[in-house]
Copies of this chain bind each other. A is one copy, B any other.
Amino acid sequence: MPSYNAPVRDMLFVMYDVLNMDAYKDLEGFGEATPDVVSAILDEGAKITQEVLQPINLSGDEEGCHLANGVVTPPKGFKEAYKQYIEGGWGGLTGDPEYGGQGLPYVLGVAMNEMCCSANFGFSMYPGLTHGAIDAIEQHGSKEQQEMYLPKLISGEWAGTMNLTEAQAGTDLGLIRTKASPQPDGTYLVSGTKIFISAGEHDMSENIIHLVLARLPDAPTGTQGISLFIVPKFLVNPDGSLGARNKVVCSRLEEKMGIHSNATCVMNFEDAVGYLIGQPNKGLRAMFTMMNAARLGVAVQGYSMSEVAYQNAVAYSKDRLQMRALTGPKAPDKPADPIIVHPDIRRNLLTARAFNEGARAMAYWTALQVDIARRHPDATERQKAEDLLGLLTPVAKAYFTDMGFLTSSMCLQCFGGHGYIREWGVEQFVRDARIAMIYEGANGIQALDLVGRKLPANNGRALMEVFFPEIGGFCEQAAADPELAPFATAVLGALEHLVDAGQWLMENGMKNRDNAGAAATDYLYIMALTTLGYMWIRQVKAAKAKLAAGEGDPQFLNSKVILAKFFVERMLPDTAAHLAKIKGGADTLMALPAEAF
Protein backbone atom coordinates (compact mmCIF):
# COMPACT_ATOMS: atom_id res chain seq x y z
CA MET A 1 0.00 0.00 0.00
CA PRO A 2 1.37 3.42 -0.92
CA SER A 3 1.68 6.12 1.71
CA TYR A 4 1.88 9.91 1.79
CA ASN A 5 3.58 12.38 4.09
CA ALA A 6 2.62 15.97 3.45
CA PRO A 7 5.82 17.99 2.92
CA VAL A 8 4.81 20.69 5.39
CA ARG A 9 8.38 21.66 6.23
CA ASP A 10 9.17 22.38 2.60
CA MET A 11 5.90 24.27 2.16
CA LEU A 12 6.75 26.56 5.06
CA PHE A 13 10.32 26.98 3.82
CA VAL A 14 9.03 28.11 0.42
CA MET A 15 6.40 30.44 1.85
CA TYR A 16 8.46 32.19 4.51
CA ASP A 17 12.14 31.68 3.74
CA VAL A 18 12.08 31.73 -0.05
CA LEU A 19 9.06 33.88 -0.94
CA ASN A 20 9.21 35.93 2.21
CA MET A 21 5.44 35.97 2.68
CA ASP A 22 5.92 37.99 5.86
CA ALA A 23 6.68 41.00 3.69
CA TYR A 24 3.07 41.02 2.46
CA LYS A 25 1.49 41.17 5.87
CA ASP A 26 -0.34 44.37 5.01
CA LEU A 27 -2.34 42.62 2.30
CA GLU A 28 -5.82 41.51 3.26
CA GLY A 29 -5.74 38.05 4.80
CA PHE A 30 -1.96 37.99 5.11
CA GLY A 31 -1.94 39.55 8.55
CA GLU A 32 -3.57 36.45 9.99
CA ALA A 33 -1.29 34.16 8.00
CA THR A 34 1.63 34.20 10.41
CA PRO A 35 4.07 31.32 10.25
CA ASP A 36 2.56 29.83 13.40
CA VAL A 37 -1.01 29.94 12.13
CA VAL A 38 -0.09 28.67 8.69
CA SER A 39 2.03 25.92 10.19
CA ALA A 40 -0.91 24.81 12.33
CA ILE A 41 -3.27 24.88 9.34
CA LEU A 42 -0.87 22.88 7.19
CA ASP A 43 -0.44 20.34 9.98
CA GLU A 44 -4.19 19.91 10.15
CA GLY A 45 -4.31 19.67 6.36
CA ALA A 46 -1.60 17.03 6.49
CA LYS A 47 -3.69 15.09 8.98
CA ILE A 48 -6.89 14.93 6.96
CA THR A 49 -5.12 14.23 3.69
CA GLN A 50 -2.86 11.53 5.15
CA GLU A 51 -5.39 9.91 7.43
CA VAL A 52 -8.69 10.36 5.60
CA LEU A 53 -8.07 10.92 1.88
CA GLN A 54 -4.98 8.82 1.19
CA PRO A 55 -6.33 5.55 2.64
CA ILE A 56 -9.24 5.55 0.17
CA ASN A 57 -7.16 6.44 -2.88
CA LEU A 58 -6.24 2.96 -4.11
CA SER A 59 -9.63 1.46 -3.24
CA GLY A 60 -11.32 4.40 -4.97
CA ASP A 61 -9.34 3.68 -8.12
CA GLU A 62 -10.29 0.01 -8.01
CA GLU A 63 -13.97 0.59 -7.39
CA GLY A 64 -14.65 3.68 -9.49
CA CYS A 65 -18.01 5.46 -9.59
CA HIS A 66 -21.44 3.99 -10.12
CA LEU A 67 -24.36 5.31 -12.12
CA ALA A 68 -27.89 4.07 -11.52
CA ASN A 69 -31.07 5.94 -12.46
CA GLY A 70 -29.21 9.16 -12.97
CA VAL A 71 -27.62 9.01 -9.52
CA VAL A 72 -23.85 8.78 -9.33
CA THR A 73 -22.29 7.18 -6.27
CA PRO A 74 -18.58 7.71 -5.67
CA PRO A 75 -16.44 4.87 -4.27
CA LYS A 76 -16.77 3.65 -0.69
CA GLY A 77 -15.64 6.13 1.91
CA PHE A 78 -15.77 9.18 -0.34
CA LYS A 79 -19.04 10.55 0.99
CA GLU A 80 -17.81 10.28 4.58
CA ALA A 81 -14.46 11.82 3.65
CA TYR A 82 -16.19 14.69 1.89
CA LYS A 83 -18.28 15.27 5.01
CA GLN A 84 -15.13 15.46 7.14
CA TYR A 85 -13.52 17.74 4.58
CA ILE A 86 -16.32 20.31 4.66
CA GLU A 87 -16.83 20.00 8.40
CA GLY A 88 -13.15 20.88 8.78
CA GLY A 89 -13.85 24.07 6.83
CA TRP A 90 -11.34 23.14 4.13
CA GLY A 91 -13.59 24.27 1.30
CA GLY A 92 -13.62 27.82 2.64
CA LEU A 93 -9.92 28.29 3.40
CA THR A 94 -9.44 31.08 0.90
CA GLY A 95 -13.11 31.98 0.41
CA ASP A 96 -14.54 35.47 0.81
CA PRO A 97 -15.19 36.14 4.54
CA GLU A 98 -18.36 38.00 3.53
CA TYR A 99 -19.78 34.63 2.53
CA GLY A 100 -18.32 32.52 5.28
CA GLY A 101 -14.83 31.94 3.92
CA GLN A 102 -11.65 32.34 5.94
CA GLY A 103 -10.11 34.79 3.51
CA LEU A 104 -6.61 33.34 3.83
CA PRO A 105 -4.01 33.89 1.11
CA TYR A 106 -4.46 32.00 -2.14
CA VAL A 107 -1.02 30.45 -1.59
CA LEU A 108 -2.50 28.46 1.26
CA GLY A 109 -5.27 27.18 -0.96
CA VAL A 110 -2.64 25.97 -3.41
CA ALA A 111 -0.76 24.19 -0.63
CA MET A 112 -3.95 22.49 0.53
CA ASN A 113 -4.82 21.55 -3.06
CA GLU A 114 -1.38 20.00 -3.37
CA MET A 115 -1.85 17.85 -0.29
CA CYS A 116 -5.34 16.73 -1.33
CA CYS A 117 -4.14 15.83 -4.78
CA SER A 118 -1.05 13.93 -3.63
CA ALA A 119 -3.24 12.01 -1.22
CA ASN A 120 -6.18 11.39 -3.53
CA PHE A 121 -6.30 13.01 -6.97
CA GLY A 122 -9.81 11.78 -7.76
CA PHE A 123 -11.22 13.10 -4.50
CA SER A 124 -9.45 16.44 -4.79
CA MET A 125 -11.31 17.21 -8.00
CA TYR A 126 -14.71 17.36 -6.26
CA PRO A 127 -13.83 20.40 -4.13
CA GLY A 128 -11.49 21.59 -6.91
CA LEU A 129 -14.31 22.07 -9.37
CA THR A 130 -16.33 23.85 -6.71
CA HIS A 131 -13.54 26.43 -6.46
CA GLY A 132 -13.92 27.10 -10.17
CA ALA A 133 -17.63 27.78 -9.72
CA ILE A 134 -16.93 30.04 -6.74
CA ASP A 135 -14.42 32.07 -8.77
CA ALA A 136 -16.87 32.54 -11.63
CA ILE A 137 -19.72 33.64 -9.38
CA GLU A 138 -17.46 35.87 -7.27
CA GLN A 139 -16.15 37.66 -10.31
CA HIS A 140 -19.09 37.68 -12.69
CA GLY A 141 -22.24 36.96 -10.69
CA SER A 142 -24.74 39.56 -9.56
CA LYS A 143 -24.88 40.45 -5.88
CA GLU A 144 -28.05 38.39 -5.67
CA GLN A 145 -26.38 35.37 -7.26
CA GLN A 146 -23.42 35.73 -4.96
CA GLU A 147 -25.64 35.80 -1.92
CA MET A 148 -27.64 32.85 -3.12
CA TYR A 149 -24.80 30.53 -4.10
CA LEU A 150 -21.51 31.55 -2.53
CA PRO A 151 -22.16 30.69 1.14
CA LYS A 152 -23.14 27.10 0.41
CA LEU A 153 -20.41 26.65 -2.22
CA ILE A 154 -17.77 28.04 0.10
CA SER A 155 -18.94 25.84 2.94
CA GLY A 156 -18.94 22.88 0.57
CA GLU A 157 -22.54 21.97 1.32
CA TRP A 158 -23.05 22.50 -2.37
CA ALA A 159 -20.58 21.52 -5.07
CA GLY A 160 -19.86 23.15 -8.42
CA THR A 161 -18.92 22.07 -11.93
CA MET A 162 -17.73 23.56 -15.20
CA ASN A 163 -19.74 22.49 -18.27
CA LEU A 164 -17.78 23.52 -21.35
CA THR A 165 -16.95 20.64 -23.66
CA GLU A 166 -19.34 19.15 -26.20
CA ALA A 167 -18.65 16.26 -28.54
CA GLN A 168 -17.73 18.59 -31.43
CA ALA A 169 -16.32 21.39 -29.25
CA GLY A 170 -13.27 20.77 -27.10
CA THR A 171 -10.40 23.18 -27.60
CA ASP A 172 -12.64 25.05 -30.00
CA LEU A 173 -15.40 26.37 -27.77
CA GLY A 174 -16.68 28.49 -30.63
CA LEU A 175 -18.37 25.34 -31.92
CA ILE A 176 -20.65 24.95 -28.88
CA ARG A 177 -24.31 24.16 -29.71
CA THR A 178 -26.04 24.00 -26.33
CA LYS A 179 -28.92 26.48 -26.41
CA ALA A 180 -30.42 28.81 -23.85
CA SER A 181 -33.90 30.20 -24.54
CA PRO A 182 -34.98 33.28 -22.58
CA GLN A 183 -38.21 32.94 -20.61
CA PRO A 184 -40.60 35.72 -19.66
CA ASP A 185 -39.51 35.50 -16.00
CA GLY A 186 -35.90 36.34 -16.86
CA THR A 187 -34.67 32.76 -16.57
CA TYR A 188 -33.49 30.59 -19.47
CA LEU A 189 -34.20 27.06 -20.58
CA VAL A 190 -30.92 25.30 -21.32
CA SER A 191 -30.79 22.32 -23.70
CA GLY A 192 -27.83 20.35 -24.95
CA THR A 193 -25.29 17.67 -24.13
CA LYS A 194 -21.99 18.27 -22.43
CA ILE A 195 -19.22 15.67 -22.21
CA PHE A 196 -16.20 15.07 -19.96
CA ILE A 197 -17.83 16.87 -17.04
CA SER A 198 -15.67 16.15 -13.99
CA ALA A 199 -17.64 15.69 -10.78
CA GLY A 200 -20.69 16.32 -12.94
CA GLU A 201 -23.02 14.33 -10.71
CA HIS A 202 -22.70 12.69 -7.29
CA ASP A 203 -24.54 12.37 -4.01
CA MET A 204 -21.91 13.84 -1.70
CA SER A 205 -23.32 17.35 -1.55
CA GLU A 206 -26.90 18.58 -1.15
CA ASN A 207 -26.82 20.42 -4.44
CA ILE A 208 -24.59 20.86 -7.46
CA ILE A 209 -24.25 24.24 -9.15
CA HIS A 210 -23.40 23.74 -12.80
CA LEU A 211 -21.79 26.57 -14.73
CA VAL A 212 -22.74 26.01 -18.33
CA LEU A 213 -21.66 27.59 -21.60
CA ALA A 214 -24.54 27.94 -24.06
CA ARG A 215 -25.78 30.09 -26.91
CA LEU A 216 -28.63 32.56 -26.80
CA PRO A 217 -30.99 32.55 -29.79
CA ASP A 218 -29.53 34.58 -32.67
CA ALA A 219 -26.19 34.86 -30.89
CA PRO A 220 -23.24 35.55 -33.22
CA THR A 221 -21.43 32.42 -34.37
CA GLY A 222 -18.12 31.45 -32.84
CA THR A 223 -16.73 32.50 -29.50
CA GLN A 224 -18.48 35.88 -29.65
CA GLY A 225 -21.84 34.23 -29.13
CA ILE A 226 -21.34 32.21 -25.99
CA SER A 227 -22.95 33.00 -22.67
CA LEU A 228 -22.46 31.55 -19.21
CA PHE A 229 -25.33 30.19 -17.12
CA ILE A 230 -25.86 28.91 -13.63
CA VAL A 231 -27.87 25.69 -13.77
CA PRO A 232 -28.44 24.19 -10.32
CA LYS A 233 -29.18 20.49 -9.94
CA PHE A 234 -31.93 21.46 -7.51
CA LEU A 235 -33.55 24.84 -8.02
CA VAL A 236 -33.01 27.15 -5.10
CA ASN A 237 -35.98 28.85 -3.47
CA PRO A 238 -35.73 32.55 -2.57
CA ASP A 239 -35.24 31.54 1.08
CA GLY A 240 -32.28 29.39 0.13
CA SER A 241 -34.05 26.08 0.59
CA LEU A 242 -33.97 23.51 -2.18
CA GLY A 243 -36.80 23.33 -4.67
CA ALA A 244 -37.59 21.13 -7.64
CA ARG A 245 -35.07 18.84 -9.32
CA ASN A 246 -33.85 20.61 -12.45
CA LYS A 247 -33.82 18.87 -15.82
CA VAL A 248 -30.13 18.10 -15.92
CA VAL A 249 -29.05 14.48 -15.66
CA CYS A 250 -25.93 12.40 -15.98
CA SER A 251 -26.63 9.94 -18.79
CA ARG A 252 -23.32 8.15 -18.75
CA LEU A 253 -20.01 7.77 -16.92
CA GLU A 254 -16.85 7.55 -19.00
CA GLU A 255 -14.42 4.66 -18.58
CA LYS A 256 -11.00 6.26 -18.33
CA MET A 257 -7.29 5.62 -18.02
CA GLY A 258 -7.27 6.92 -14.45
CA ILE A 259 -8.92 9.27 -11.91
CA HIS A 260 -11.54 6.51 -11.63
CA SER A 261 -12.85 7.81 -8.34
CA ASN A 262 -13.93 11.05 -9.96
CA ALA A 263 -17.16 10.91 -11.95
CA THR A 264 -16.56 12.00 -15.56
CA CYS A 265 -20.08 12.57 -16.79
CA VAL A 266 -22.03 13.05 -19.95
CA MET A 267 -24.59 15.65 -18.86
CA ASN A 268 -27.92 16.07 -20.60
CA PHE A 269 -29.74 19.38 -20.25
CA GLU A 270 -33.33 19.27 -21.43
CA ASP A 271 -35.01 22.60 -20.87
CA ALA A 272 -33.15 22.90 -17.60
CA VAL A 273 -33.75 26.20 -15.83
CA GLY A 274 -30.68 28.42 -15.97
CA TYR A 275 -29.67 31.89 -14.90
CA LEU A 276 -27.45 34.12 -17.01
CA ILE A 277 -24.24 35.08 -15.25
CA GLY A 278 -22.41 38.18 -16.44
CA GLN A 279 -23.18 39.74 -19.81
CA PRO A 280 -24.88 37.98 -22.74
CA ASN A 281 -22.35 36.67 -25.30
CA LYS A 282 -19.46 37.37 -22.93
CA GLY A 283 -19.50 33.90 -21.41
CA LEU A 284 -16.16 32.82 -22.73
CA ARG A 285 -14.37 35.70 -21.03
CA ALA A 286 -16.06 34.84 -17.76
CA MET A 287 -15.12 31.22 -18.22
CA PHE A 288 -11.50 32.14 -18.84
CA THR A 289 -11.27 34.03 -15.56
CA MET A 290 -12.22 30.88 -13.82
CA MET A 291 -10.03 28.75 -16.06
CA ASN A 292 -6.91 30.71 -15.14
CA ALA A 293 -7.24 29.70 -11.53
CA ALA A 294 -8.22 26.23 -12.65
CA ARG A 295 -5.05 26.01 -14.74
CA LEU A 296 -2.87 26.81 -11.78
CA GLY A 297 -4.80 24.12 -9.91
CA VAL A 298 -4.01 21.63 -12.65
CA ALA A 299 -0.36 22.66 -12.63
CA VAL A 300 -0.30 21.74 -8.95
CA GLN A 301 -1.82 18.35 -9.80
CA GLY A 302 1.21 17.70 -11.99
CA TYR A 303 3.84 17.99 -9.30
CA SER A 304 1.52 16.57 -6.62
CA MET A 305 1.51 13.22 -8.38
CA SER A 306 5.25 13.38 -8.79
CA GLU A 307 5.65 14.20 -5.07
CA VAL A 308 3.69 11.18 -3.83
CA ALA A 309 5.30 8.94 -6.46
CA TYR A 310 8.71 10.19 -5.31
CA GLN A 311 7.96 9.49 -1.65
CA ASN A 312 6.91 5.94 -2.36
CA ALA A 313 9.82 5.31 -4.71
CA VAL A 314 12.23 6.53 -2.02
CA ALA A 315 10.72 4.18 0.55
CA TYR A 316 10.99 1.28 -1.88
CA SER A 317 14.53 2.17 -2.92
CA LYS A 318 15.75 2.24 0.67
CA ASP A 319 14.09 -1.07 1.40
CA ARG A 320 14.66 -3.13 -1.73
CA LEU A 321 17.93 -5.07 -1.78
CA GLN A 322 19.33 -5.84 -5.24
CA MET A 323 22.93 -5.97 -6.45
CA ARG A 324 25.98 -4.39 -4.87
CA ALA A 325 26.97 -0.75 -5.25
CA LEU A 326 29.36 -0.17 -8.16
CA THR A 327 31.96 1.03 -5.69
CA GLY A 328 31.72 -2.04 -3.45
CA PRO A 329 29.20 -3.34 -0.86
CA LYS A 330 27.48 -0.72 1.27
CA ALA A 331 25.46 -3.18 3.37
CA PRO A 332 27.85 -6.11 3.61
CA ASP A 333 25.77 -7.78 6.31
CA LYS A 334 22.81 -8.03 3.95
CA PRO A 335 22.40 -10.26 0.89
CA ALA A 336 22.57 -7.15 -1.35
CA ASP A 337 22.63 -3.36 -1.08
CA PRO A 338 19.50 -1.20 -0.99
CA ILE A 339 18.97 0.04 -4.53
CA ILE A 340 19.28 3.67 -3.46
CA VAL A 341 23.06 3.15 -3.70
CA HIS A 342 22.79 2.90 -7.50
CA PRO A 343 23.44 6.13 -9.43
CA ASP A 344 20.72 5.48 -12.01
CA ILE A 345 18.09 4.96 -9.30
CA ARG A 346 19.21 8.26 -7.77
CA ARG A 347 19.04 9.93 -11.17
CA ASN A 348 15.36 8.96 -11.38
CA LEU A 349 14.60 9.99 -7.81
CA LEU A 350 16.48 13.28 -7.92
CA THR A 351 14.94 14.28 -11.24
CA ALA A 352 11.53 13.89 -9.63
CA ARG A 353 12.55 15.74 -6.49
CA ALA A 354 14.39 18.60 -8.19
CA PHE A 355 11.27 19.05 -10.29
CA ASN A 356 8.86 18.74 -7.34
CA GLU A 357 10.59 21.24 -5.11
CA GLY A 358 11.30 23.65 -7.94
CA ALA A 359 7.71 23.39 -9.09
CA ARG A 360 6.33 23.87 -5.60
CA ALA A 361 8.30 27.10 -5.23
CA MET A 362 7.16 28.29 -8.65
CA ALA A 363 3.54 27.35 -7.94
CA TYR A 364 3.51 29.27 -4.68
CA TRP A 365 5.26 32.21 -6.32
CA THR A 366 2.59 32.17 -9.02
CA ALA A 367 -0.16 31.91 -6.40
CA LEU A 368 1.35 34.87 -4.61
CA GLN A 369 0.82 36.87 -7.80
CA VAL A 370 -2.88 35.97 -7.57
CA ASP A 371 -2.95 37.40 -4.07
CA ILE A 372 -1.04 40.52 -5.08
CA ALA A 373 -3.20 41.02 -8.17
CA ARG A 374 -6.34 40.79 -6.06
CA ARG A 375 -5.30 42.46 -2.84
CA HIS A 376 -2.43 44.89 -3.35
CA PRO A 377 -3.30 48.55 -2.81
CA ASP A 378 -0.83 49.73 -5.45
CA ALA A 379 -2.16 49.47 -9.01
CA THR A 380 1.34 49.12 -10.45
CA GLU A 381 2.02 46.15 -8.23
CA ARG A 382 -1.31 44.64 -9.18
CA GLN A 383 -0.55 45.02 -12.85
CA LYS A 384 2.92 43.56 -12.50
CA ALA A 385 1.42 40.60 -10.69
CA GLU A 386 -1.25 40.18 -13.39
CA ASP A 387 1.42 40.30 -16.07
CA LEU A 388 3.54 37.70 -14.34
CA LEU A 389 0.51 35.53 -13.68
CA GLY A 390 -0.40 35.61 -17.35
CA LEU A 391 3.04 34.29 -18.30
CA LEU A 392 3.50 31.80 -15.50
CA THR A 393 0.10 30.13 -15.62
CA PRO A 394 0.39 28.40 -19.02
CA VAL A 395 4.05 27.58 -18.33
CA ALA A 396 3.22 25.95 -15.00
CA LYS A 397 0.16 24.16 -16.37
CA ALA A 398 1.96 22.59 -19.32
CA TYR A 399 5.43 22.00 -17.90
CA PHE A 400 4.33 20.75 -14.48
CA THR A 401 1.87 18.28 -15.95
CA ASP A 402 4.18 17.01 -18.70
CA MET A 403 6.92 16.56 -16.12
CA GLY A 404 4.58 15.18 -13.46
CA PHE A 405 3.62 12.36 -15.78
CA LEU A 406 7.23 11.75 -16.76
CA THR A 407 8.73 11.86 -13.28
CA SER A 408 5.90 9.74 -11.82
CA SER A 409 6.86 7.23 -14.49
CA MET A 410 10.54 7.54 -13.47
CA CYS A 411 9.50 6.80 -9.90
CA LEU A 412 7.51 3.80 -11.10
CA GLN A 413 10.70 2.61 -12.80
CA CYS A 414 12.50 2.42 -9.43
CA PHE A 415 10.04 -0.30 -8.39
CA GLY A 416 11.00 -2.57 -11.27
CA GLY A 417 8.23 -5.09 -11.99
CA HIS A 418 6.38 -4.14 -8.81
CA GLY A 419 5.83 -0.70 -10.27
CA TYR A 420 3.56 -2.21 -12.90
CA ILE A 421 1.41 -4.04 -10.32
CA ARG A 422 -1.75 -2.38 -9.05
CA GLU A 423 -1.35 -3.06 -5.35
CA TRP A 424 1.86 -1.01 -5.11
CA GLY A 425 -0.14 2.01 -6.14
CA VAL A 426 2.52 3.84 -8.12
CA GLU A 427 1.06 2.92 -11.51
CA GLN A 428 -2.13 4.70 -10.41
CA PHE A 429 -0.14 7.90 -9.92
CA VAL A 430 1.09 7.65 -13.51
CA ARG A 431 -2.40 6.98 -14.90
CA ASP A 432 -3.95 9.73 -12.81
CA ALA A 433 -1.19 12.20 -13.74
CA ARG A 434 -1.85 11.69 -17.46
CA ILE A 435 -5.17 13.60 -17.48
CA ALA A 436 -3.59 16.82 -16.25
CA MET A 437 -1.72 17.20 -19.56
CA ILE A 438 -5.05 17.29 -21.34
CA TYR A 439 -7.81 19.06 -19.45
CA GLU A 440 -8.20 22.79 -18.77
CA GLY A 441 -6.58 23.36 -22.14
CA ALA A 442 -4.31 20.69 -23.62
CA ASN A 443 -0.62 21.47 -23.12
CA GLY A 444 -0.11 22.39 -26.77
CA ILE A 445 -2.80 25.03 -26.30
CA GLN A 446 -1.02 26.38 -23.23
CA ALA A 447 2.09 26.84 -25.34
CA LEU A 448 0.09 28.70 -27.99
CA ASP A 449 -1.52 30.82 -25.28
CA LEU A 450 1.96 31.76 -24.05
CA VAL A 451 3.53 32.46 -27.41
CA GLY A 452 0.53 33.76 -29.31
CA ARG A 453 -1.24 35.74 -26.61
CA LYS A 454 0.74 36.33 -23.44
CA LEU A 455 4.08 37.27 -25.01
CA PRO A 456 2.82 39.82 -27.52
CA ALA A 457 0.19 41.35 -25.19
CA ASN A 458 0.86 45.05 -24.47
CA ASN A 459 3.92 44.98 -26.71
CA GLY A 460 5.63 42.33 -24.67
CA ARG A 461 5.30 44.22 -21.41
CA ALA A 462 5.03 41.16 -19.17
CA LEU A 463 8.22 39.61 -20.48
CA MET A 464 10.29 42.76 -20.98
CA GLU A 465 9.22 44.79 -17.98
CA VAL A 466 8.49 42.15 -15.38
CA PHE A 467 9.85 38.68 -16.09
CA PHE A 468 13.29 39.55 -17.49
CA PRO A 469 14.07 42.29 -14.95
CA GLU A 470 12.95 40.08 -12.07
CA ILE A 471 14.96 36.99 -13.00
CA GLY A 472 17.82 38.72 -14.78
CA GLY A 473 18.22 41.24 -11.99
CA PHE A 474 18.21 38.61 -9.30
CA CYS A 475 20.71 36.42 -11.14
CA GLU A 476 23.08 39.28 -11.82
CA GLN A 477 23.13 40.14 -8.15
CA ALA A 478 23.54 36.49 -7.25
CA ALA A 479 26.43 36.16 -9.69
CA ALA A 480 28.39 38.52 -7.44
CA ASP A 481 28.00 36.17 -4.48
CA PRO A 482 30.61 33.39 -4.74
CA GLU A 483 28.26 30.86 -3.15
CA LEU A 484 25.49 31.57 -5.63
CA ALA A 485 27.60 32.42 -8.67
CA PRO A 486 27.72 28.95 -10.27
CA PHE A 487 23.95 28.70 -10.10
CA ALA A 488 23.40 32.24 -11.31
CA THR A 489 25.74 31.78 -14.25
CA ALA A 490 23.86 28.68 -15.32
CA VAL A 491 20.45 30.34 -15.07
CA LEU A 492 21.70 33.43 -16.90
CA GLY A 493 22.74 31.04 -19.68
CA ALA A 494 19.23 29.66 -19.81
CA LEU A 495 17.84 33.19 -19.79
CA GLU A 496 20.06 33.95 -22.76
CA HIS A 497 18.50 31.00 -24.59
CA LEU A 498 15.09 32.40 -23.77
CA VAL A 499 16.04 35.81 -25.14
CA ASP A 500 17.50 34.17 -28.23
CA ALA A 501 14.34 32.12 -28.74
CA GLY A 502 12.21 35.23 -28.34
CA GLN A 503 14.33 37.02 -30.91
CA TRP A 504 13.86 34.15 -33.31
CA LEU A 505 10.10 34.26 -32.72
CA MET A 506 9.98 37.99 -33.39
CA GLU A 507 11.84 37.57 -36.65
CA ASN A 508 10.10 34.43 -37.86
CA GLY A 509 6.81 34.06 -36.07
CA MET A 510 5.30 37.21 -37.54
CA LYS A 511 6.02 36.49 -41.15
CA ASN A 512 4.86 32.88 -40.82
CA ARG A 513 2.63 32.14 -37.88
CA ASP A 514 3.32 28.41 -38.25
CA ASN A 515 6.84 29.20 -37.06
CA ALA A 516 5.35 30.44 -33.81
CA GLY A 517 3.14 27.36 -33.54
CA ALA A 518 6.07 25.07 -34.24
CA ALA A 519 8.22 26.81 -31.62
CA ALA A 520 5.60 27.18 -28.91
CA THR A 521 6.17 24.06 -26.81
CA ASP A 522 9.96 24.32 -26.90
CA TYR A 523 9.75 28.00 -25.99
CA LEU A 524 7.51 27.14 -23.06
CA TYR A 525 10.03 24.55 -21.88
CA ILE A 526 12.90 27.04 -21.95
CA MET A 527 10.83 29.48 -19.93
CA ALA A 528 9.86 26.76 -17.46
CA LEU A 529 13.44 25.61 -16.96
CA THR A 530 14.66 29.17 -16.57
CA THR A 531 11.98 29.94 -13.99
CA LEU A 532 12.66 26.74 -12.11
CA GLY A 533 16.35 27.61 -12.14
CA TYR A 534 15.52 30.99 -10.64
CA MET A 535 13.44 29.27 -7.96
CA TRP A 536 16.35 26.98 -7.18
CA ILE A 537 18.78 29.85 -6.66
CA ARG A 538 16.29 31.52 -4.37
CA GLN A 539 16.04 28.29 -2.41
CA VAL A 540 19.81 28.00 -2.18
CA LYS A 541 20.08 31.59 -1.03
CA ALA A 542 17.41 31.06 1.63
CA ALA A 543 18.98 27.78 2.75
CA LYS A 544 22.45 29.30 3.03
CA ALA A 545 21.09 32.21 5.02
CA LYS A 546 19.42 29.85 7.48
CA LEU A 547 22.52 27.71 7.73
CA ALA A 548 24.64 30.78 8.40
CA ALA A 549 22.18 31.87 11.09
CA GLY A 550 22.26 28.42 12.66
CA GLU A 551 18.54 27.99 12.05
CA GLY A 552 16.65 24.99 10.73
CA ASP A 553 17.64 21.40 9.99
CA PRO A 554 21.08 21.40 8.33
CA GLN A 555 20.37 18.18 6.41
CA PHE A 556 17.20 19.63 4.92
CA LEU A 557 18.95 22.89 4.05
CA ASN A 558 22.05 21.24 2.63
CA SER A 559 19.82 19.04 0.50
CA LYS A 560 18.52 22.19 -1.15
CA VAL A 561 22.02 23.04 -2.32
CA ILE A 562 22.59 19.53 -3.67
CA LEU A 563 19.24 19.54 -5.47
CA ALA A 564 19.97 22.90 -7.03
CA LYS A 565 23.27 21.49 -8.30
CA PHE A 566 21.45 18.50 -9.66
CA PHE A 567 18.96 20.76 -11.41
CA VAL A 568 21.73 22.79 -13.01
CA GLU A 569 23.82 19.78 -14.03
CA ARG A 570 21.09 17.41 -15.16
CA MET A 571 17.99 19.36 -16.14
CA LEU A 572 18.95 22.86 -17.19
CA PRO A 573 21.17 21.68 -20.12
CA ASP A 574 17.97 20.93 -22.05
CA THR A 575 17.38 24.62 -22.79
CA ALA A 576 20.06 24.54 -25.51
CA ALA A 577 18.38 21.57 -27.21
CA HIS A 578 14.99 23.30 -27.09
CA LEU A 579 16.52 26.40 -28.67
CA ALA A 580 18.05 24.32 -31.46
CA LYS A 581 14.66 22.70 -32.10
CA ILE A 582 12.93 26.06 -32.27
CA LYS A 583 15.39 27.20 -34.89
CA GLY A 584 14.41 24.23 -37.02
CA GLY A 585 11.32 26.27 -37.83
CA ALA A 586 8.02 25.09 -39.24
CA ASP A 587 8.93 24.23 -42.82
CA THR A 588 9.73 20.58 -42.21
CA LEU A 589 6.75 20.17 -39.89
CA MET A 590 4.39 21.54 -42.51
CA ALA A 591 6.00 19.89 -45.54
CA LEU A 592 4.01 16.67 -45.61
CA PRO A 593 0.52 16.86 -47.08
CA ALA A 594 -2.09 15.36 -44.76
CA GLU A 595 -2.46 12.28 -46.94
CA ALA A 596 1.25 11.48 -46.55
CA PHE A 597 0.83 10.94 -42.81
Contact = CB atoms under 8 A, between A and B. Distances in A.
Nearest to A311: B597
A63 interface: no
A326 B555 contact: no
Interface stretch (A10-18, A361-369, A563-571): A563-571
A389 to B, nearest CB: 23
Interface string A576-597: 1100110011101111111111
Contact of A591 (B254, B512, B562, B591): B562
Nearest to A562: B591
Nearest to A320: B170
Interface in A241-264: 254-258
B256 A416 contact: no
Given A255-B421, A255-B422, A516-B326, A346 B171 contact: no
Given A255-B421, A435-B420, A335 B590 contact: no
A375 interface: no
A463 interface: no
Interface string A311-336: 00010011001110111000000011
A77 B301 CA distance: 40
Contact of A565 (B423, B444, B588): B588
Nearest to A591: B562
A62 to B, nearest CB: 8
A417 interface: yes
Interface in A529-560: 555-556, 558-559
A470 interface: no
A130 interface: no
Interface residues of A, number: 101
A171 B565 contact: no
Contact of A431 (B431, B581, B584): B431
A456 interface: no
Contact of A570 (B171, B442, B517, B584): B584
A25 interface: no
A503 interface: no
A580 B574 CA distance: 9
Contacts of A195: 417
Contacts of A406: 406
Interface in A398-432: 405-406, 409, 412-413, 416-417, 419-423, 427, 430-431
Given A346-B592, A413-B437, 19 more contacts: A171-B322, A171-B416, A172-B323, A257-B430, A325-B514, A326-B513, A343-B590, A349-B597, A413-B438, A413-B442, A413-B444, A416-B438, A417-B438, A555-B596, A569-B584, A569-B588, A573-B577, A574-B577, A577-B577
State the 8 A-B residue pairs at the shortest beta-carbon distance, nearest first.
Answer: A569-B584, A343-B517, A573-B580, A326-B513, A344-B444, A257-B427, A255-B422, A343-B518
Interface of A: 165, 168-172, 174-175, 195-196, 254-258, 314, 317-318, 321-323, 325-327, 335-336, 338, 340-350, 353, 405-406, 409, 412-413, 416-417, 419-423, 427, 430-431, 434-435, 437-439, 442-444, 447-448, 452, 512-514, 516-518, 520-521, 555-556, 558-559, 562, 565-566, 569-570, 573-574, 576-577, 580-581, 584-586, 588-597
